Amino acid sequence: MRIAVYAFDGISMFHLAAPQLVFGETARTDPGSSWTTVLWSAAGGEVGVGEGYKISGLVGPEAAADADMIVVPSWPEDLPPLDASLRQILIDGHDRGAVIVGLCLGAIPVADAGLLSGRSAVTHWAAMDALRKRHNDIPLDSLVLYVDNGDVLTSAGTASAIDACLHLVRERLGADVANDVARRLVVAPHRDGGQAQYTRQPVPVTATGNPIGELMEWAAQHLDDSLTVQHLASGPP
C-alpha cells in the first residue's frame, strides 16, 4: 500500500502527523503489509507549518501518480477553492483506482474535485455549513466520525483523522492489526458517536406560562427540600 499525504504551507503538524502516525505504526506492526507513506506538496522541497517552522525533503506531485491512497489531511481555514493541478491529481488518482481520503477540512478539496456529488460525507463541524452551501448536492452527516464510500473517505474534525485511519487499516488488514496499532498508539481501536457534542448549541428558552417549565425552575432552586412526587404534583407554593 503506497500512501501519498499532501502537505501545504500553513498546515498544522497534528493534521500532517495523524495519517503518518497510524500508517507508519501499521508498517511496523505488520511488516508484511508493505505500507509506505510519503509526504508531497505541489512543488516539492519544503513547506512551512502552522506552528512556525519548516519541513523539508518533500517530494512533488509525482508521488501521487502511483499511490494506492491519496490523503488530503486538512485544508486552509479560509477554505480556498481547489486549484486546477490538485483537482486533476485527485481526479486522475480516483479514476485509476486510488482511494481518496479527505481528513477534517480535507473533505473540502475532495468535494471540490467532484468526488462526493450525491454521496454522504462529513467534515469538521465548524465547516459543515460552508461545505453545505458550496456543494448542496452532498448529504452531510454530522453524527459520525468518518464516512467511507469505499473509494472516497472523509472524516470529521481533527482527532477524528486517527479514527478514520484506523478504520482504513481495519478494512484492509483486519481487526487484529488495527487493534494492535491502536494499542501501540494508546488510543481506542474504535470510537462510537460523532462530533455533535462539540458544536455550540443554544440552550432552548422555556416559554412563559408553561407549568412544567415553571415547576422545574422552582425545583432547581429548592434542591435542599424534600421534592417528593406528591410535593411536585401539587406545584410550587
- The Cα–Cα gap between 35 and 186 comes to 21
What pLDDT was estimated at residue 98?
A: 98
- pLDDT tens, position by position, for the chain (237 residues)? 999 999 999 999 999 999 999 999 999 999 999 999 999 999 999 999 999 999 999 999 999 999 999 999 999 999 999 999 999 999 999 999 999 999 999 999 999 999 999 999 999 999 999 999 999 999 999 889 999 999 999 999 999 999 999 999 999 999 999 999 999 999 999 887 666 545 555 555 555 567 777 788 888 888 888 888 887 887 776
140 close to 173: Cβ distance less than 8 angstroms = no
Q: What is the pLDDT at residue 219?
A: 85
Q: Where are the domains of the chain?
A: 2-198, 202-237
* pLDDT for res 82: 97
**pTM: predicted TM-score of the whole model, two decimal places:** 0.82
CATH code that applies to domain 2-198 = 3.40.50.880
